[in-house]
Structure 1
Amino acid sequence: MKLNVYTPLATVLDGWDVAYLRAEDESGAFGVLPGHADFLTALTVSVVSWRDSKGTEHHAAVRGGILEVRGGDEVTIATKEAVQSDDLVTLEAEVLSAFRRAQEEDKAARIDAQRLYLAAIRQICCFLRAEGGKGARLHE
């Protein structure tokens, strides 16, 4: 199988020959072998591991993303951020914790933006109610 990993700014892996791939989505870890049925899933912040045709294991930390298996011979991962390394300990200890922190910061920023949006809507509604009351009195 061929493995491709893309971020918005870079091609992290392009056409690596892969004999086996292990990844993780919300339901847990899963494996992909050559000939796998077409498949599409959303990845969690995790480490994707694979063995090349020589049996050497490789890893990449991904900050979520989408994994697609196409035609049983191509695996493509699109992710916000990816770091490829053969040092699994470093990936798990440093990179995954940084990705998880960034994910929590993104979530907090989205919540804050949503709160601001709702506050603005409430202010507009209050303004329109006040204007509506004034306009009704003018027509009387």
Structure 2
Amino acid sequence: MSPNDAARAGSMNLKVLLPTEILVDKPVSKIIAEAENGEFCLLPRHIDFVAALVPGVLSFYNDDGSESFAAIDRGVLVKCGQDVTVSTYKGVTGTNMSELQTMIEERFLALDEHERKARTALARLEAGTLRGFLDLKEKFHG
């Protein structure tokens, strides 16, 4: 469907992009996503904008009225005309909202906690290394 066809049909072109694949590429009539300040809804005639997304479930309504879902990690949503593009590191599609919500909690949010712990450990290691260099400097130049 070309952008002009989508505009006439009252739909948007949704693409959800992962680093290694295109997860979703289809015309949709409505998109519900979640940013830091809460959920929002996009319809075909909404103004163009950009939003930073949090880990959550992206809901979208197909042109036939059926609802589909994609669990996504943090990402960026860009709406430009009838084209809506979501770029994210991780994502998976599904039809069961509760299964996808559980997957987000287990995979994406747990990874954020693991990453936070790893960064804390790295900061401690860096601080310890710097203290060691300062001790050596005082010992030899002190």
TM over 0.5: yes
- Poorly superposed stretches of 4+, deviation over 6 Å: none
**What is the deviation of 1:96?**
1.3
* Corresponding residue of 2:111: 102
How far did residue 132 of structure 1 move?
A: 2.9
Q: Does 1:42 align with 2:42?
A: no
- For 1:1-140, list aligned pairs within 5 A: 1-14=12-25, 16-70=26-80, 72-93=81-102, 95-98=103-106, 99-133=108-142
> Which of the pair has more CA radius of gyration?
1
Give 1:125 shift.
2.5
| Number of aligned residue pairs | 130
Q: TM-score, normalised by structure 2?
A: 0.83
TM-score (norm 1): 0.85
For 1:18, what is the secondary structure of its paired residue? Answer: strand
1:111, 1:19 → 2: CA distance?
43
Deviation at 1:126, TM superposition (A): 2.5
Please, which runs of 5 or more residues in structure 1 have no aligned partner? 134-140
Partner of 1:137: none
Whole-angstrom CA distance in 1 between matches of 2:138 and 2:69: 58
Structure 1: how far apart are the matches of 2:62 and 2:75? 22
In structure 2, C-alpha distance between the alignment counterparts of 1:111 and 1:67, rounded to whole Å: 29
1:126 to 1:29, Cα distance in 2 relative to 1, 3 A = same
Q: Which residue identity does 1:83 align to in structure 2?
A: V
Cα separation, 2, equivalents of 1:80 and 1:114: 25
Residues 76-133 of structure 1: CA deviation (Å, up to 9, x unaligned): 111120010111121112x112221112111211221122122222222232333332
